[in-house]
Chains A and B, each alone.
Chain A
Amino acid sequence: MAAENPAHYHTNTPWNEPGAEPYIRIDHVTKKFGDFVAVNDVSLNIYRGELFSLLGGSGCGKTTLLRMLAGFEEPTAGKIYIDGVDMAGIPPYARPTNMMFQSYALFPHMTVEANVAFGLKQDGTPANEVKERVRQILDMVQLTQFVKRKPHQLSGGQRQRVALARALVKAPKLLLLDEPLGALDKKLREATQFEIMNIQDKLGITFIVVTHDQEEAMTLSTRIGVMHQGQIVQIGTPQEIYEYPNNKHVADFIGSVNLFEGRMIEDEPDHVLIDSPEAGGKIYVDHGISASPDARVWAAIRPEKIQLTKGDRGEPYNCIKGMVKGIAYMGNLSIYLVQLDSGKEVKVTMPNQMRAAEQEIGWDDRVTLTWHANSPVLLLS
């Protein structure tokens, strides 16, 4: 696994333990709207205390899956178990789940305090206990001074925290978050991400987050389930998903990636050799895959794993040539768009160790692209 230390590191990995009992079990769930299959035979185990992200583009079925967990939709087929209890036919108000809505769905005619207290009051919690718990949770999300305000008197970030507090105050077995950070600006997102992670650590509630933002999923999650066209295409930790995507779609969706189509010419247990006319050379990978010889494969290489050097250099493998067609200066790094001799365009990112004016590679320079033999990921589909 990659050497980089993730922002939020979980030492316990119950999904790797064979005997571990899943807390939420989604068992062959399908949801159809008329002829349209929104969720297609999804099976998923989520463990207690996890912060699991469902990641995918719009229309991939992630929100439908979340709504089935909350009870707003009933699965067409399959079962959902929360803490061992079959959720079939249990209405939203009787489920041990709470949801934080994408639009926050704060009650506009109630104060912050009343919004947060709403859920507790529905359960008939005694008034003084309601007051105490509301105070605690508002303290946690740092909204104590806004208790008497109505939602329209709050900023976007404050509303988001009210929504979070309202969902958390009942200490549900499962907290569902629908694009929780979608409406916030970048600075606030980063701050809130860490806030959510802290709260999750503190309360030990199991979270399921739906998002289309891979960065959000990467920083928040213990594990990510990537969804595409109603199916889960890959489940794994952020590092696994990023470093070892199992198909082109995942590789492309998580971060950016350069894909080289090629034909396998050597397949040994310790290495693979691919002939890729698209890349304009041979690609050597230091780990084997199990595929039929001559198979069509794609080598996926992340932009930051490619080295750019000026001029033409010759090496038998993992060395391709092209011309710089564009440079995007991003401050901390630059993105180079290189057109290979085959015509294919490749993205390369390099940290800006020197000031922009002193960069040695400029527009229309001939360059050589190289990478380490363990960098490419080979994909069969």
Chain B
Amino acid sequence: MSQESIPEGGRLNRAPGARSIGKVLHAMGVRPRLAVILIPYLWLVFFFLVPFGIVLKISFAKLAIAQPPFTPLFVCTDTTITSLWTCFFSGKLDLQPTLAAYGYLFHEPLYFKAYWNSVQTAFWSTIFCLLIGYPMAYGMARSSATVRNALLMLIVLPFWTSFLIRVYAWIGLLKTNGVINNILGSFGILDLLSWAGIHDGPLNMMNTQFAVYIGIIYSYLPFMILPLYANLEKMDLTLLEAANDLGCKPLKAFFLITVPLSFPGIVAGSMLVFIPAVGEYVIPELLGGSNTVMIGRELYNVFSQNRDWPSASAIAIMVLVLLVVPITFYQYYQNKESEAGK
């Protein structure tokens, strides 16, 4: 659009900057609606897609004693040319990918174990979060408006403290001389267990898989509750009355009506727990000790201790391929179905 066609002091009092941005966008042929969509897309491109491309690239490289510590993916066959661009245009650029890092992963049983253990841990954590979270979300959704807001506040409140600090706090609770063992000891329950021949001495909870479960379930429970709550809260309660009226007892109506209708909430909550739990690093590191092998921790070890960037990248890519891709597809079809089911 030409300069003249925008009258000076136009009808809308926009900020001068906004007007010029609008002009620039308009000149580029970008309509306002597109501009709004563009912002999250650009964000994703720069902060997800580009870093992902870099990781993908590194995963096809080989470990090297160099700076950075891996072989370049693109090599110029003519060593006299130093710039990659000139090399590219002279046609002498050679792509040298290697699957060495992936080969290493497949030959090292530790990683299979770590993957399997991570998926298992994430799976059971999700199940427990669902079992604990569903009644909580249900209770919230069915309570009066004031109680509901207070409960919602309580769910969100822990986020005001750093995640790391909250996980650290569990060390103080779980360790041999920690709060739980002290309380059990002072009530004589530890003595009782010892007398009954079940267990001798303070309970050994730290650095076990149990502690990892506690940490993950505790940390991710809100992510299960909130989508479930949002779903259950908008449910039409006359459907339950209708089921009752047709001869269905309340408990059965819960399983026949409420649970199927809350399925989108169950899926959303489970995704929000399962996906980050698979790659969880902090919780197994702090609570799990050396006995628990989880893929997030292995990735960190490979990256920072072995300084093996290609293998670390390959691990990251494999997590993505093996878990995120099928889950995304599943969710895509789920969305399509629920859209049709409205």
Contacts and interface: CB of A to CB of B under 8 A. Distances in A.
B276 interface: no
A91 B260 CA distance: 24
B242 A99 contact: yes
Contacts of B248: 93, 118, 122
Interface stretch (A46-54, A102-110, A340-348): A102-110
Interface in B239-277: 239, 241-250, 252, 257, 260-261
B236 interface: yes
A98 B249 CA distance: 14
A152 B243 CA distance: 18
Contact of B245 (A93, A106, A123): A93
Interface residues of B, number: 19
B244 A91 contact: yes
A170 interface: yes
B341 A170 contact: no
A170 B248 CA distance: 13
B261 A109 contact: yes
A93 B249 contact: yes
B239 A105 contact: yes
B341 A105 contact: no
Contacts of B257: 107
Contacts of A107: 239, 242-243, 257
Interface string B309-342: 0000000000000000000000000000000011
B245 A92 contact: yes
B3 interface: no
Contacts of A81: none
A119 interface: yes
Contacts of A133: none
B236 A122 contact: no
A170 B246 contact: yes
A15 interface: no
Contacts of A170: 246-247
A105 B241 contact: yes
B1 to A, nearest CB: 44
Contacts of A101: 238, 241-242
Nearest to A116: B246
Interface in B213-244: 236, 238-239, 241-244
B337 to A, nearest CB: 11
B224 to A, nearest CB: 22
A109 B260 CA distance: 7
Given A93-B249, A152-B341, A152-B342, A105 B244 contact: no
Contact of B246 (A72, A91, A119, A150): A119
- Most-contacted residue by chain A among B247, B252, B342 (CB, 10 A): B247
- Most-contacted residue by chain B among A91, A94, A105 (CB, 10 A): A105
A36 B247 CA distance: 31
A70 interface: yes
Interface in A19-42: none
Contacts of A72: 241, 244-245
A102 B165 CA distance: 52
Contacts of B249: 93
A44 to B, nearest CB: 21
A200 to B, nearest CB: 19
- Most-contacted residue by chain A among B238, B243, B244, B246 (CB, 10 A): B246
Contacts of B247: 93-94, 119, 122-123, 170
Nearest to B249: A93
10 contacts: A70-B241, A72-B241, A72-B245, A93-B244, A93-B248, A103-B238, A107-B239, A107-B243, A122-B247, A123-B247
Interface of A: 70-72, 91-94, 97-99, 101, 103, 105-109, 118-119, 122-123, 150, 152, 166, 170
Given A93-B247, A99-B241, A166-B246, 14 more contacts: A72-B241, A92-B241, A92-B245, A93-B250, A98-B245, A99-B242, A101-B241, A101-B242, A105-B238, A105-B242, A106-B242, A107-B257, A118-B248, A122-B246
